[in-house]
């Protein structure tokens, strides 16, 4: 990985927006950032904005700076492309009429000379996840051709929607016949995550970016899509548990049957499960059937912080940690999908608990996923920290215990 070039400490200025969204740089004003505690950004936390960075105006939110809030300006934030992890949040004062923010990974940004810089670090170099560009109608035609071959398969219809409407990479991979392919399976969930991307509660005031699948698909449909993929992608990955569904372990009997059918047809590739890890016995059923790898999601190793975000029904963090230990003991490739957020992931207490767990239960990889949520909503739910070590330090500490990345790799 290339040696990052850091900017001079006092070389960065405020980048903010007017009400029409026009961005302006002001090198005379030093912006503040939010790392759970509002402070000056450090030079080793900033990199030039990478290709694929998306800029957002945060309506009704006044940027905080070393000389106080700047009236008449709106806070600028960015969303990072795949392969990067956020280190700092934008710092702002929300005005009374500020609308709720949709589910994006709001990241601090500022000006360095004439160039936008962002608070991020590269955490995965996988090429297959770089932004994709299709010629007009190219993806639609590829999807149509495949659907015509198996019109009754409800999985194919679901991932067609996810490919064309949501731009989901693992759904597109089903049609592009490469990498990791999506196998959504569960319309229900036993958690109510505040930042759920497939279902938001009526009083949340925001829409979920995706509609949750409505039907319980069959093992035969799942196996057919998986076998087709592994026939064409020697080291392919087929993954149960996608953004458009609930919790796959609630359908572990169907998943186990699908895995048996897949392994009856194909010996190659990786059968993976993305899950909240809530039911160790259900996971065991999938492992007995032939599961190869599992990625378990969590936002914290502290029971209070986990419960405040996941709002679990009928399970708790203890069950999730038991699932991780079970999968390690059964020899699976185990990844954690760590939902990262400055001020929570790098809280001194969090780091201590996480290191204790990873020392006793070493996993193959920790995927540092930037949590997509309104920071004010998240801090209201889990609380702000007393002391933090900084996200860059937190990621380096994780690296001492496990490989860090952002995607499920074949090796
Ligand atoms: S575990 Fe997944 S599907 Fe369930 S509420 Fe959380 S984000 Fe949504």
Looking at the CA of residue 278, tell me the nearest atom of ligand 1: 1
Phi and psi torsions of 252, nearest 5°? -65, -30
Residue 343 Cα to ligand 1 middle (Å): 22
Pocket probe for ligand 1: among 184, 198, 369, the residue whose CB has the most ligand atoms within 8 Å is: 198
How far is ligand 1, taken at its centre, from the CA of residue 45, in Å? 30
For tokens 């939010």, name the residue: 34
Q: What is the token pair recorded at 145?
A: 């051709």
For residues 95 and 73, is the Cβ–Cβ distance under 8 A? no
Q: What is the CATH number of domain 127-405?
A: 3.20.20.70
For residues 155-169, one letter each, b for 16 or more C-beta atoms within 10 angstroms of the residue's C-beta and e for the rest, the string is bbbbbbbbbeebebb
Q: What is the pLDDT along the chain (411 residues), one digit of tens a residue?
A: 444 445 555 579 999 999 898 999 999 999 999 999 999 999 999 999 999 999 999 999 999 999 998 889 999 999 999 999 999 999 999 998 999 999 999 999 999 999 999 999 999 977 666 667 889 999 999 999 999 999 999 999 999 999 999 999 999 999 999 999 999 999 999 999 999 999 999 888 888 999 999 999 999 999 999 999 999 999 999 999 999 999 999 999 999 999 999 999 999 999 999 999 999 999 999 999 999 999 999 999 999 999 999 999 999 999 999 999 999 999 999 999 999 999 999 999 999 999 999 999 999 999 999 999 999 999 999 999 999 999 999 999 999 999 999 988 766
Q: How far is the CA of 306 from the centre of ligand 1 (A)?
A: 13
If you measure from the C-alpha of residue 192 to the centroid of ligand 1, how many angstroms do you get, rounded to a whole number?
6
**C-beta of 76 in contact with ligand 1 (< 6 A):** no
Domain boundaries, the chain: 9-122, 127-405
Q: Ligand 1: distance of its center to the CA of 277 in Å?
A: 11
Residue 100: how many other CB atoms lie within 10 Å: 11
Residues facing residue 298 across a β-bridge: 338
Query: Which atom from ligand 1 is nearest to the alpha carbon of 192?
Result: 5
Alpha helices in 293-374 (DSSP H): 303-310, 317-329, 348-360
Which of 191, 273, 309, 369 should be mutated for ligand 1, with most atoms under 8 A from CB? Answer: 191
Q: What is the pTM of this model?
A: 0.94
């Amino acid at each position: 990985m290339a040696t990052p070039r850091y900017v001079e400490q006092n070389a960065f200025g405020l980048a903010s927006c007017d009400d029409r969204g026009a961005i302006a740089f002001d090198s005379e004003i030093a912006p503040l950032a939010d790392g759970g505690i509002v402070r000056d950004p450090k030079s080793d936390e900033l990199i030039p904005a990478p290709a694929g960075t998306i800029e957002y105006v945060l309506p009704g939110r006044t940027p905080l700076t070393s000389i106080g809030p700047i009236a008449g300006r709106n806070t600028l934030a960015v969303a990072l492309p795949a392969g990067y992890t956020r280190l700092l949040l934008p710092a702002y004062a929300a005005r009374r009429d500020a609308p709720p923010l949709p589910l994006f990974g709001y990241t601090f940004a500022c000006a360095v000379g004439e160039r936008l810089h962002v608070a991020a670090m590269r955490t995965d170099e996988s090429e297959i996840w770089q932004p994709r560009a299709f010629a007009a109608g190219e993806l639609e035609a590829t999807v149509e051709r495949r659907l015509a071959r198996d019109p009754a398969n409800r999985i194919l219809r679901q991932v067609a929607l996810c490919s064309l409407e949501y731009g989901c990479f693992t759904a597109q991979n089903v049609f592009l016949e490469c990498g990791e392919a999506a196998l959504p399976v569960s319309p229900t969930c036993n958690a109510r995550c505040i930042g759920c991307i497939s279902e938001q509660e009526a009083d949340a005031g925001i829409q979920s970016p995706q509609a949750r699948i409505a039907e319980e698909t069959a093992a035969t449909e799942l196996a057919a899509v998986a076998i087709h993929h592994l026939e064409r992608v020697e080291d392919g990955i087929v993954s149960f548990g996608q953004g458009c569904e609930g919790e796959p372990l609630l359908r572990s009997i169907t998943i186990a049957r699908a895995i048996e059918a897949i392994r009856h047809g194909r010996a190659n590739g990786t059968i993976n499960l993305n899950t909240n890890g809530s039911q160790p016995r259900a996971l065991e059923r999938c492992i007995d059937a032939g599961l190869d790898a599992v990625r378990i999601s969590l936002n914290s190793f502290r029971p209070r912080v986990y419960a405040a975000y996941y709002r679990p029904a009928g399970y708790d963090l203890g069950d999730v940690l038991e699932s991780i230990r079970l999968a390690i003991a059964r020899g699976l490739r185990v990844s954690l999908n760590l939902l990262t957020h400055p001020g929570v992931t790098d809280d001194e207490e969090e780091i201590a608990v996480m290191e204790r767990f990873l020392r006793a239960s070493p996993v193959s990889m920790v995927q540092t996923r930037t949590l997509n949520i309104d920071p004010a909503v998240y801090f209201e739910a889990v609380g702000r920290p007393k002391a933090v070590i900084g996200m860059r330090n937190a990621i380096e500490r994780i690296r001492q215990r496990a490989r860090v990345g952002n995607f499920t790799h074949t090796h």
